[in-house]
Chains A and B, each alone.
Chain A
Amino acid sequence: MTKSKYSKSFLLKLYQQMLEIRLFEESLIEPILSGEIKTPCHLYTGEEAVAVGVCAALNKKDYAFGNHRSHGHYLAKGGDLKALMSEIFGKSTGCSRGRGGSMHIIDKKAGFLGATPIIAGTVPLAVGTALALKIKKKNRLTVTFFGDGATAEGVISEAFNFSALHKLPILFICENNLYATHMPITESLANPKIYLQPKTYGIKSVRADGNDVIKVFETAKKMITQIKKHKGPAFIEFLTYRMRGHVGPDDNIQGTHTDIRKSREIEVWKKRDPIKKMEKFLIKNKFLDQSKIKKNYQKINKKIEQAKTFSRHSPYPKKNELLKYVFKK
Chain B
Amino acid sequence: MFLKNKKQINKRFLSYSLAINEAVYQMMSKNKSVFVIGQGVKSPWYVGNTCRDLLKKFGPKMVMDTPISENVTTGVGIGAGMVNMKPIVIFPRMDFMMYALDPIINEAANWHYMFGGKANADVVIRAIINRGGEQGAQHSQALQSLFTHIPGLKVVMPATAYDAKGLMISAIRDPNPVIYIDDRWLYDVKDHVPQKIYSVPIGKGAIRKIGKDITIVAISYMVKEALIAAAELRKQKIDAEIIDLRSAWPIDIPLIIKSVKKTGRLLITEAAWSSGSISSEINSQIARQSFKYLKAPIERLCLPDCPAPVSKILEQAYYLTSKDVIKKVKNILNYV
Contacts and interface: CB of A to CB of B under 8 A. Distances in A.
A50 to B, nearest CB: 20
A121 B45 contact: no
A135 interface: no
Nearest to A117: B138
Interface in B79-131: 95-96, 98-99
A226 B98 CA distance: 35
Interface string A92-131: 1000101111011000000000001111110000000000
Contacts of A318: 313
A84 to B, nearest CB: 13
27 contacts: A38-B134, A38-B312, A40-B134, A40-B135, A90-B134, A92-B311, A99-B136, A101-B134, A101-B135, A101-B311, A103-B138, A104-B136, A104-B137, A117-B138, A118-B96, A118-B98, A118-B138, A120-B68, A149-B67, A152-B69, A154-B69, A154-B72, A180-B68, A183-B65, A316-B313, A322-B306, A326-B307
A39 B43 CA distance: 22
A278 interface: no
Interface residues of A, number: 47
Given A39-B134, A118-B98, A154-B72, A90 B67 contact: no
Nearest to B309: A99
A165 interface: no
Contacts of A90: 134, 310-313
Interface string B63-74: 001111111100
Interface residues of B, number: 38
B30 to A, nearest CB: 29
A187 B65 contact: yes
A33 interface: no
A99 B311 contact: yes
Contacts of A92: 311
Contacts of B317: 319, 322
Given A38-B134, A98-B310, A155 B99 contact: yes
A118 B96 CA distance: 7
A149 B312 CA distance: 31
Contacts of A260: 44
The residue among B66, B134, B310, B318 with the most chain A CB atoms within 10 A of its own CB is: B310
A103 B68 contact: no
Interface in B283-324: 304-307, 309-314, 316-318
Given A260-B44, A317-B309, A153 B99 contact: yes
Given A40-B139, A104-B136, A99 B68 contact: no
Contacts of A187: 65
Q: Which one of A118, A150, A318, A319 has the greatest number of beta carbons of chain B within 10 Å? A: A118
Nearest to B137: A104
A91 interface: yes
B45 A319 contact: no
Given A90-B134, A153-B99, A117 B304 contact: no
B134 A181 contact: no
A76 B136 CA distance: 24
B138 A99 contact: no
